[in-house]
Amino acid sequence: MSILSRNKDFLKEVFAGTKALMELNQVKRVNMPMYDELSVKELWPDMQGAEEFLRYFPAQFPKGRVPDRTYFFNIMNTLMEDYVQQIIKHANLQRTSQAS
């Protein structure tokens, strides 16, 4: 499935009211550290029960694919800013304790 048809399918879901878009000025951007434990592949399965979060993502992705990293974390930071700060802090603490 091409990116164009995936985007088209997502826009159909938006117009049907099952998915949503956010205005750019509402997005709280975050620059996530490039740690393995903070990868989309690692966190995406944990987010499957978060209905409000999932409203901003297509219902399906091709097998083995996950959302774009920047988009994923910007939406997460917008909706769950405290959680994002906690996982960054936890990852940093894990890395500094291993280095000691």
Domain extents in the chain: 3-99
CA distance readout (Å), 81 to 1, 23, 25, 33, 77: 33, 17, 16, 15, 4
User: 74: burial class by Cβ within 10 Å (0-12, 13-18, 19+)?
Assistant: buried
Q: What is the dihedral of CA 85, 91, 96, 99, to 10 degrees?
A: -170
| Residue 19 near residue 13, CB atoms below 8 Å | yes
Q: What is the pLDDT of residue 5?
A: 57
Q: What is the pLDDT of residues 48-80, one digit of tens each?
A: 999 999 999 999 888 889 999 999 999 999 999
**Would the pLDDT of 3 be above 70?**
no
State the pLDDT confidence band at 8, using cuts at 50, 70 and 90.
confident
